[in-house]
Structure 1
Amino acid sequence: MYALIQDELKNCGNVALGVVCHQPLQLLFRDCSRMNAEEQRFVNTGLSHIDFLIFNKVSKEPMLAIEVDGFHYHKDGTKQAERDKLKNHILEVYGLPLVRFSTNGSGEKEKLREKIAEITA
């Protein structure tokens, strides 16, 4: 996925975009005032992170969160699915777009290309 993201960032022609792996939520959301107590605990564990984060290299502004979900590990009813819901809500509240890819999915390149086009439009 990292190689695919790097390739798509090169192909989009926007040299100001970069990507980091495993961005801790704790470093991304220093202002937790819009979160409830459960979300704050989740963010401040130090273990919660974004799999990949596309950001503006000039302004350091986060632009797009990318999550890669294991099919069995993230299915409904699991603890991970509950954590995913928390993360989804936090990202929504803070206005950070999210795209999730399943490890058994397809069409990742096209979906990623569309999302990059959306955030750079």
Structure 2
Amino acid sequence: MSLISVEKTITIALSVSDRHASADWYTSMLGFELLYHADEAGWSEVATNTDGVTIGFGEHTKPVPGNSVPVFGIADIEDARSKLEGAGVKFDGPTDVVEGMVKTATFYDPDGNALMLAEDLTGGQ
């Protein structure tokens, strides 16, 4: 039995210098669909051709190529985080909240690979 249960979604987060240009590239080159640009959060997202899998672009002045972070959808981030921390899983600071959009929390596997939990706050919009 697993400690927590993630939803049937995964977002692969990439660090990019221009998220609008990256979204355009992924849609025109790979046939993905633009979902949205969240300018206030510095985030854009495209749907891949695989159900439940999206790619998110976080805008950074100095992106690190090859550094991607799998983001797992979760129904209750506080509960999941509490259980993981109780099992000794290390988190990177407090849970981040973008009101009306998402709650996220970065954590690490035993080898130090970054992973993230995300709770949707849009109400399924």
For the aligned pair, the TM-score class normalised by the smaller chain equals: under 0.3
Structure whose residues are more often strand by fraction: 2
What TM-score do the two structures reach when normalised by structure 2?
0.27
Structure whose residues are more often helix by fraction: 1
